[in-house]
Chain A
């Protein structure tokens, strides 16, 4: 497996949070509660952090959201080959269960009506019911975070 390179600097969740905090500047209570909620998805242990990370990155790529794409969850390893595949939407490098997660994540932003029963059930078959609910919840909020970044930030190209 490839090693991380300087092109993928690890960033802590705390630093990631700093990206969105200014958006909530007028509502610190709301921000505090959002952080607690978002962190719980990453720390509950119901679904692996790697699966969360690859789905988060794929959604960031779909939205072309540089803010979300530019950081990496520090204790999750995703190789440069895998990052390139996530950029292209090629899931063949991932294992069967990860592919099931990515296929649903792929449709969340703009094709949610096209998510098939079988695709959701493939996640449940691979990870279990509780993990499937945890993953689908997290994926929804990965989509939300990209939309926040894109709508509430300058549209000057990066």
Chain B
């Protein structure tokens, strides 16, 4: 798979995933707040979460 972004990045930024989130700052901030809550708390052990995250990345052929 390619990891070259398909869209034009925000002005004065590089074409990478993080830069694109700058387009949707409020939504991205809310997502990372959600994602941090998922990773930092809960009954599932972190290694199980990480294992399933990596497996999902492989299944979806996601290089990130």
B-contacting residues of A (Cβ < 8 Å)? 26-27, 29-30, 33-34, 36-37, 40-41, 44, 46, 112-113, 117, 120-121, 124, 129-130, 132-134, 137
Contacts and interface: CB of A to CB of B under 8 A. Distances in A.
B34 A30 contact: yes
A124 B34 contact: no
A36 B29 CA distance: 10
A40 B27 contact: yes
- Give the secondary structure class of A's interface: helix
Nearest to B43: A26
**Taking each of B31, B33, B38, which has the highest tally of chain A beta carbons within 10 Å of its own beta carbon?**
B31
A37 B35 CA distance: 10
B62 to A, nearest CB: 9
Given A27-B42, A129-B8, A36 B30 contact: yes
B46 to A, nearest CB: 15
16 contacts: A30-B37, A30-B41, A30-B42, A33-B33, A37-B30, A44-B24, A44-B27, A46-B23, A113-B61, A117-B6, A120-B6, A121-B7, A130-B10, A130-B24, A133-B7, A133-B20
